[in-house]
Copies of this chain bind each other. A is one copy, B any other.
C-alpha cells in the first residue's frame, strides 16, 4: 500500500487565502445583495503596463511564425531577461550580481517553497511571526517544522522571530543558532521595512553561524526612500550567506502572468557544495523554464516606457495605501505599514480576535481583509489590508469601516 507523506497530515487546515476565499464565497451566497470591497488577498488590479502587454502580444505572434518560434528555452531563463534584471535591479544599486546568478521562475511562491529541496530536514528554520504562510507550509511539508500545536497555533520545530509593535515589526537577531532564515522586506503582512543596519546584523549573524538567509524581496518596488536597501545583496557579506527571491507580481502586475526570479551567488556554498550548482540541477530536473512570451513581457518592464508605467502604478498604489492608512486611523484603528509597502497592518479594536474582526468587517462593512492570525500566532489581534486594488474601492472601503466602527 502506498504510504503518504506523513508531514502533510500535520498541516492544520487549508491554505490561508483559500480559506479566506471560501468564507467570502459563503458570505456572498448568503448575502447576494451586499457589494463586497476586497482589501484582502494581495492581488493587483492591473491593467498590465501597455509596453508589457504589447511585448507579450508580439511574442505570441512571433511564436506563430517559423522564424520566431522558440521551443525549450534555457532552463534558467533567456539571457535577454537575466541581463536586464542584473542591470536594472542590481548594477544600478551597486550590487554585484551577474546575469548567470539569476534564475528565472514562474514566481516567488514556487521559489520560496522549492528552495527547501536543497536542504536537509535537520535544519532549524527561523521565520518572522507573523509571516507569509508559504514559508511555514513549505517547511512543514518538508518535515522541518516539527509538530503543530493546535492550542498555541505554533509548530514545535520552527524558530519564531517575534515581530511586534515594540520592535517595529523587524525581528532582532536571536541568541540561538538558526540554519535557514526566511526574511521578507518590505514585509508581508506587516508592511515593515528593515534598515541597512538591521539587515547587516542579519548578514553578520548568518555568516557567523553558517546559516543561509532566504530573502524575499517580492515587494521591493514599493520602497520609497533611496537609502533603504532594495536587495540583500546591497549588504556587504551577503554573497556568502544569502539567496534572494523577487517577483514581477506586485512590481508589474504579474500575479496572473507568473514570473519571478531567484538570485544565488556563485560563491555561496555549504558543506563545500555550490548552492548555485545544486539549484541548477534541481531546476533542470523539476522545472522546465518560463514561457518565452512571459519573459518578453518581463523584459519590457525595463524599457523606458515600461519602467515609467510600472513606477507610476507603484506610486499610485502607495498613494492608495496612504488614503487607507489615514482612513483607518480616523476610524480609530492603530495602523502600521503602507509607506514602503502595499500592505497595512491594523490592530483589531477592543481586543477582538483577528478572525472575529475579519467577520465583523465582512458583515458590517462588506470589506474583505486578511485575518492576522492566518499569518501565525504573532498575527493574532491584527488584520492586513492591501492597497493593491482599486483606489476608489479602497476609499469607499475605509468609509464603510469608519461607519461600521463609529
Residues of A at the B interface (CB closer than 8 Å) are: 1-6, 8-9, 11, 14-15, 17-18, 41, 43-50, 52-54, 56-61, 63-66, 68-73, 75, 106-107, 109-110, 113-114, 117-120, 122-123, 133-134, 137-138, 141, 179-180, 209-212, 253, 255-258, 270-271, 273, 278, 281-282, 284-294, 297
Contacts and interface: CB of A to CB of B under 8 A. Distances in A.
A286 B59 CA distance: 28
B63 A257 contact: yes
Nearest to A70: B256
Contacts of A75: 18
Q: Which of A8, A137, A288, A292 is the most central at the interface, judged by chain B CB atoms within 10 Å of its CB?
A: A288
A286 B113 CA distance: 6
In the A-B complex, the 3 residue pairs with the closest CB atoms? A53-B64, A46-B69, A1-B210
Contact of A292 (B9, B50, B256, B271): B256
Given A118-B5, A141-B282, A48 B64 contact: yes
Contacts of A3: 119-120, 122-123, 179, 270-271
A326 B49 CA distance: 52
Given A4-B120, A43-B72, A284 B61 contact: no
B106 A288 contact: yes
Given A1-B209, A46-B66, A63-B48, A285 B120 contact: no
Contact of A134 (B50, B122, B271, B285): B285
A4 B270 contact: yes
